[in-house]
Structure 1
Amino acid sequence: MLTVDFDRLGVGAGTKVIDVGCGAGRHSFEAFRRGAEVIAFDQNASDLNDVDEILQAMKEQGEVPASATAEAVKGDALDLPYADGTFDCVIASEILEHVPQDDRAIAELVRVLKPGGALAITVPRWLPERVCWALSDEYHANEGGHIRIYRANELRDKVLAHGLRLTHTHHAHALHAPFWWLKCAVGPSKTNHPVVAAYHKLLVWDMVSQPWLTRTAESLLNPLIGKSVALYFRKPEVSVAGA
């Protein structure tokens, strides 16, 4: 389940990509399939071990171009261990809502991005997230949980302050919003609740089968209740004196 639109980012063979806060690796896997040189970056060693195993299996099974490379790296998003302007594309999907020093994290994302490069940031959307917080403290008030709810324009302005240019925004995962509302209503830890379990089965079926009906429904509902908002930026090219 991708939140980021890779066609919009132009990720392909030879693109240097870092997926900051990669989690289970969904965006790293897609970049790898497209032939990119991928860094799957996270602070969770257990998650990274799983991601690394899948990346290696993809390579061994011929699911990626021969030139593609991928590496799982453990580290801190507030201090990325890369030089300025290292990556053509930087992805930070569903991580900033967890980070107390989000301004510092954003500065690092911008710093390692090449001039002319693309930055994609996604966070939970304000309205669906407010509903979740209202229904359940357990949903967010836990170690490593969500510490803030962004308005899209607030996040946009934090990034624009670093001199980047906003190129596009969209919403995603509308069918997931009611699922999380249900989970919060019955208790996020009650995964075996029959209604929650039935809805989860529907979401899994939808992700695997991608039928026309649910894909169309979600595209129509995304502007209204999309669970995530995605923002895309470009870093200005370096100006050349006399050009």
Structure 2
Amino acid sequence: MLTVDFDRLGIGPGTRVIDVGCGAGRHSFEAYRRGADIVAFDQDAEELSGVDLMLRAMAEAEEVPAGAAARTVCGDALALPFADGEFDCVIASEILEHIPEDDAAIAELIRVLRPGGTLVVTVPRWLPERVCWALSTEYHSNEGGHVRIYRADELRAKIGGRGVRFAHRHHAHALHAPYWWLKCAVGVRKDDHVLVRAYHRLLVWDMMSGPRTTRLAEKLLDPLVGKSVALYFSKPVVDRVAA
């Protein structure tokens, strides 16, 4: 389940990509399939171990183009261990809402992006997220949980104020918003609840089968209740201050 539009990013053979806060690795795997030189970066060493196993399995199964490269790096998003301008594309999907010092994290994302490169940030959308917070305190008040709810325009201004240019916005995962509302209503840990299990089966079927009916429904609903918002930025080739 991808939140980022890889066709818009233009990721292909030789593109240097870092997936910051990669989690289970979904975006890293897609970048690797497209032939990128991908760094899957996260602070969770145990989860990164699983990502590394999958990347190796993809290579062994010859699911990636010749010349593609992948590695995992464990570290802190507030101090990325990479040089300035090292990457052509920086992906930060669903991580900023977890980080108290989000300004510092944003600065690091932009620092490691090369001039002319693309940054994409995704976060939970304000309205679906606000409903989740209203229905359940447990949803967000836990260690490592969500510490804030972003309005897209505010986040766009926060990131754009650091010298990158806004390029595009879209929403994603409308079918997932009601699932989380349901979980928050019955209890976020009650995965065995009959309604939660039924909706989860629907989502799995949708992701595995990709039927036209649900794809069309989500496309129509994304602008209204898409669970996530994705913001795309480009880093100017000429530094504004220097110019």
TM category (shorter chain) comes to: over 0.9
SS class of match (1:84): coil
Shift of 1:238: 2.8
Moved segments of 4+, more than 3 Å: none
Report the counterpart of residue 126 of structure 2 in structure 1: 126
Is residue 41 of structure 1 aligned with residue 41 of structure 2? yes
Aligned 1:38-77 pairs, distance under 5 A: 38-77=38-77
Aligned 1:73-112 pairs, distance under 5 A: 73-112=73-112
Is residue 234 of structure 1 aligned with residue 234 of structure 2? yes
User: Given residue 208 of structure 2, which amino acid in structure 1 is its aligned partner?
Assistant: V
TM-superposition CA deviations, 1:89-143 (whole Å, max 9, x none): 0000000000000000000000000000000000000000000000000000000
Q: 1: distance between equivalents of 2:77 and 2:66?
A: 29
Q: 1: distance between equivalents of 2:100 and 2:18?
A: 21
Report the counterpart of residue 157 of structure 1 in structure 2: 157
Aligned 1:171-186 pairs, distance under 5 A: 171-186=171-186
TM-superposition CA deviations, 1:133-190 (whole Å, max 9, x none): 0000000000000000000011101111111111100000000000000000000000
SS class of match (1:133): helix
Is residue 200 of structure 1 aligned with residue 200 of structure 2? yes
Q: 1: distance between equivalents of 2:88 and 2:138?
A: 38
How many residues end up aligned between the 2 structures? Answer: 239
Give structure 1 stretches of 5+ with no counterpart: none
TM-score, reference length from structure 1 = 0.98
SS class of match (2:141): coil
TM-score, reference length from structure 2 = 0.98
Q: CA RMSD in A?
A: 0.6
Q: 2: distance between equivalents of 1:114 and 1:49?
A: 28
SS class of match (2:138): coil
Report the counterpart of residue 168 of structure 1 in structure 2: 168
SS class of match (1:150): coil
Shift of 1:66: 1.4
Give structure 2 stretches of 5+ with no counterpart: none
SS class of match (2:219): helix
